[in-house]
Amino acid sequence: MSPTPNGPLSGGALVMVDIPGPTLDDDTAAYLRRHGIRSVCLFRKNVESEAQLAALCADLRAVMGEHALIALDHEGGAILRPTFWPFAPGAMSLGAADDEALTADVNAALARQLRRVGINWNFAPVLDVNVNPANPVIGERAFGADVGLVTRMGRAALAGHDRAGVAACVKHFPGHGDTSLDSHLALPRVDKAREDLEAGEFAPFRDLLPVTPAVMTAHIIYPALDPARPATLSRAVLTGLLREAWAYDGVIVTDSMGMKAIDDHYGRGEAGMMALQAGADLVMALGRREAQEATLNAIQAALDSGTLDATQMQASVRRLETLAARYPAQADDTLDPQADAALLEGAWARGLSAYRDPVALPPGSRVLLVAQAKVPRENVSEASVDAQTLADDLRGVYDVHLHAFEDPAELDWAALRAHGLPVILATTSRHRHAALRGVRPDLHLALYNPYAALDVNAPALLTYGFQPEARRAALRWLSGHLVAAGTLPFPA
């Protein structure tokens, strides 16, 4: 069943799914055809090599048709699934550099990487204003804590994507920057007055709507807008505010409905139908096949019974088709992502920031490096750098003795000091650790969460990321070949 202007509508046209692996197997292809699914989100499990990814996208487009939407979370920083392209800095690194042209160029490079293989939709940029240093899920994914900075950098990021021919998607509307809970794990609330939301969280989204192809919703309750339902399921938010008050007619896509903020409170099928009723155009039904089918079946039943308004749903399909037509899922093998390596390397260096006036130890010094042995991937982010790799990096500058820890609470700082060596602490995890509050190394390398610099009582160098390009920028600073010229994009 396929959607037509006046004919029956397939619920699959309103649902985005993920697929099991790096190839499109016959069973999955049949499943996509059977339900009329046109939208797929890819993850690290789907990515092995550039050639494999291009083949997968071509197979997906062949099955899903000319209106195929193939998406990826390709933000930069820690949110990058492919490992075979040069790594781009994340949003906060670009916020620290505070250069709109650079932000546009980096985002165009991200988009070119995707177009190379046929991915036509990037779930970026993040427009959350990260005013809460304890935010467990946004942090360095945001451009910063200032509304004006986020808006300027967001506009540049959108322009870069459009210039390179990939649909961008701003997130997480109406704002995930002042939460202390992760919606992957719980249902957050933002208890702010409407006027405060208007001046803060809302502003980047509202101001950039004219140049925004798509908006992703947040699974957060905003009592000033709707005291009962999270934004993803709230007609007051998606239709009343976004569609009617702000006159937005681009695509609205939900965040993953498999996140506990939704799954633990509403159930997949019911929540998918509620999101469409609220005003979403596309429901992101990720996870195991049974959960996807629960969403697909509930939506199809609601379409067949008239519970979902046919005119509204046809308008959603038209928006999705318009997006796919403007940004077709066609690979362009004339693009060479490696050609952007120098641009991205330089962009990481531009964001490098100093806190409390750090001074590098002289090259050749004997130092004690304290770093976490291994940091696994955490929900949206990929695995960070391990202690041994970091020690090997630093041996290009210093005589390094490594102390690798599993849990920072187990660190004995008196014993570490007893070595008689200058101590360099590297923080490499997404989350801040209470056990590191007030500790006093000689130098702190904040290689992931920049807010960790607020915990450790030492001068710090902030890279806003752990990718090889970020580490090389840090090494250039340590060896005296680079100045940390970035500006902290949050209050210190």
pLDDT tens digits for range 239-261: 999 999 999 999 999 998 876 66
Taking a C-beta distance cutoff of 8 angstroms, is the pair 364, 398 a contact?
yes
Set 255, 281, 340, 455: catalytic member: 255
Tell me the β-bridge partners of 15: 283
C-alpha to C-alpha distance for 361 and 369, rounded to whole angstroms: 13
- Interhelix angle 268-278/310-326, rounded to 10 degrees, is 80
C-alpha to C-alpha distance for 329 and 325, rounded to whole angstroms: 9
The residue written with tokens 């982010």 in the block is 381
C-alpha to C-alpha distance for 425 and 371, rounded to whole angstroms: 6
Tell me whether residue 172 is one of the annotated catalytic residues: no
Residue whose C-alpha is closest to residue 24's, from 50, 42, 4, 49? 42
Q: What is the pLDDT of residue 4?
A: 43
Q: Mean pLDDT per 10-residue run, the chain (492 residues)?
A: 56 97 98 98 97 98 98 95 96 98 98 98 97 86 96 98 98 87 73 93 96 95 93 96 97 87 74 95 95 94 95 97 98 97 98 98 97 84 91 97 96 96 96 95 97 97 97 98 95 85
Q: Are strands 15-17 and 39-42 parallel, antiparallel or unpaired?
A: parallel
Q: What is the pLDDT of residue 330?
A: 96
Q: What is the pLDDT of residue 379?
A: 66
Q: What is the pLDDT of residue 5?
A: 43
Ordered DSSP codes for 385-435: --HHHHHHHHTTTSEEEEEEES-GGG--HHHHHTT-S-EEEEE-SSS--GG
Tell me whether residue 255 is one of the annotated catalytic residues: yes
- Interhelix angle 468-478/341-351, rounded to 10 degrees, is 60
Q: DSSP H helical segments within 131-244, as ranges?
A: 147-164, 194-199, 202-208, 235
C-alpha to C-alpha distance for 106 and 222, rounded to whole angstroms: 33
Q: What is the pLDDT of residue 436?
A: 97
Q: Are strands 214-217 and 69-72 parallel, antiparallel or unpaired?
A: unpaired
Segment 98-130, tens digit of pLDDT: 999 999 999 999 999 999 999 999 999 999 999
Set 184, 263, 386, 431: catalytic member: 184
Q: DSSP H helical segments within 180-288, as ranges?
A: 194-199, 202-208, 235, 260-263, 268-278
Q: What is the pLDDT of residue 183?
A: 64
Taking a C-beta distance cutoff of 8 angstroms, is the pair 202, 190 a contact?
no
35: CB partners within 8 A, 6+ apart: 10, 11, 12, 15, 296
